[in-house]
Amino acid sequence: MNIYVLMKRTFDTEEKISVQGGKIAEDGAEFIINPYDEYAIEEAIQLRDEHGGEVTVVSVGNEETEKQLRTALAMGADKAVLVNVEDDLDETDQFTTAKILAEYLKDKEADLIIGGNVAIDGGSGQVGPRVAEQLNIPYVTTITSIKIEGDTVTIVRDVEGDSETIETSLPLLVTAQQGLNDPRYPSLPGIMKAKKKPLDELELDDLDLEEEDVEPKTETVEIYLPPAKEAGRILEGDVDAQVRELVDLLRKEAKVI
């Protein structure tokens, strides 16, 4: 089975985020594999072990993305591909990323493409479905289970806490939801082996794409942090007095009643 995983490098949301010059400051931040993409990598490895074939992890990013791709190889993926857009593109959006990934995948005869349900930073959940649309293959999002028998694929997907079972066929794109599996940690032998596994680097040129072909369709107008929370106020006195003061504050200060 020819399996591809779409992997995004994201900054760790445990990091303290600051905004400088209208952009999220990345200096000194810790970068990780998007957590939903870890489920995608794990599922791809398990399906390959069950059905045979190969797992290739693909990412659109920059030179730094090699680190996360090596981690995916250490987990057990067979090959990695980095489409390095650092020198070609300043601004990108979901259209850009999906177009590049679809262009890379169009002649790969993928049986299964697995992405994350959503990136924990950009968070649009658009890339997977957009890639599938461009490749003209079916897609199922937020999956929590996948079973493949011949060409028949049975999937359970999470629908806001409920489950939906879907039967479909290969070739197919799915996006991983939390609960799909428990992603493994790379083992020491895995890390050693990963150093020798192929990691190819491509640029837009190699995909016969010009900058205009992938120009973003959206513009980020402003990025800002939520306003700092003010300290709460503790009312004093007996309960009757507190209730009177609260009603007064709601009327005069908060102006909500």
Q: Give the binding site for ligand FAD (CB under 6 A).
A: 6-8, 34, 36-37, 58-62, 85-86, 89, 91-94, 96-97, 101, 115-116, 118-119, 121-128, 220
Tally Cβ neighbours within 10 Å of residue 154.
Answer: 13
C-alpha radius of gyration, the chain, whole number: 23
CB of 247 to ligand FAD, least distance (A): 44
CB of 117 to ligand FAD, least distance (A): 7
Structural tokens at position 10: 């994201």
CB of 12 to ligand FAD, least distance (A): 15
Enumerate helices (H) and strands (E) in the chain, giving the number of each. Answer: 6, 13
Q: Which is nearer to ligand FAD, 34 or 56 (CB)?
A: 34
Q: Which is nearer to ligand FAD, 31 or 249 (CB)?
A: 31
CB of 168 to ligand FAD, least distance (A): 19
Nearest position to ligand FAD, beta carbon:
122
Residues forming a β-bridge with 175 = 115
Q: Which is nearer to ligand FAD, 75 or 85 (CB)?
A: 85
CB of 161 to ligand FAD, least distance (A): 20
| Dist. CA 156–CA 141, nearest whole Å | 10
CB of 249 to ligand FAD, least distance (A): 40
Structural tokens at position 241: 């007095």
Tally Cβ neighbours within 10 Å of residue 137.
Answer: 18
Q: Which is nearer to ligand FAD, 151 or 200 (CB)?
A: 200
Q: Which is nearer to ligand FAD, 23 or 196 (CB)?
A: 23
For the chain, report the end-to-end CA distance as a whole number of angstroms: 63
| Dist. CA 43–CA 5, nearest whole Å | 10
Question: For strand 31-33 and strand 23-24, is the pairing parallel, antiparallel, or unpaired?
Answer: unpaired
Q: Which is nearer to ligand FAD, 66 or 245 (CB)?
A: 66
Q: Are 175 and 117 contacting, i.e. CB atoms less than 8 angstroms apart?
A: yes
